[in-house]
Amino acid sequence: MNLALFDFDGTITTREMFGDFVRHAVSRPRRLAGNFIFAPLIIGYKAGWVTGNTIRASVVRFGFRGVPHATVSELAAQFCEIAVPGVLREVAMRRILWHKERGDKVVVVSGGLDIYLSHWCEKHGLELVCSRLESRDGVLTGRYREAQCIGEEKRRRVSEAYDLNTYEHIYAYGDTKDDMEMLEMAQTRFFRWKEMGR
């Protein structure tokens, strides 16, 4: 059996979906307040002074802390039905189908949030390794359960979840520098849908 690792945002989809999900799932009052609170961070991010990790962690903390997991999960399922289909890349969906028809194990490896990616992956029969939100007693804490699943964390989490020595061949698909460590794990790798040399 082969293993196929797919980044989600920008690889399976045409763009990053974190912001779209936040706009869909965070209450309007919190979003409006967040526009003012996060303005300095956004300016810093655009200037290169603030990392994407910091922005995402801050938004998750402000947007989801104290909200019932079930409420956000229901909104996430709606998001996957309403918003995600319109941004899927045809080339990505064809490639996923190709792998599945060959009997390969197909895994989405993403910095995106489990609360919506789990719905999408379940619908398409795919496995998932991604950033996970922490909840206690059914309520989101506003924190990640562990490090965000980007860069070296992608490699670590995939290696932890799968015995790579049991696969005949590994394929990987990504589109940003945060995918490079995952791409290095594969014998056949695609960056922005162009095959990379070894």
Integer Cα distance of 107 and 121 in angstroms: 9
What is the tens place of the pLDDT at every residue in 159-169?
Answer: 999 999 999 99
Query: Are 174 and 180 in contact, with CB atoms under 8 Å apart?
Result: yes
pLDDT value, residue 38: 73
Distance of alpha carbon 171 from alpha carbon 24, whole angstroms: 33
Amino acid in position 149: C
- Residue 93, domain CATH: 3.40.50.1000
Tens-place pLDDT, residues 79-127: 999 999 999 999 999 999 999 999 999 999 999 999 999 999 999 999 9
Q: What token pair was written down for 17?
A: 């979906």
Under 8 Å between Cβ of 109 and 130 = yes
Number of domains in the chain: 1
Domain housing 95: 3-195
pLDDT in tens, 64-91: 999 999 999 999 999 999 999 999 999 9
The closest of 174, 168, 36 to 95, measured between CA atoms, is: 174
Backbone angles phi, psi at 186, to 5 degrees: -105, 150
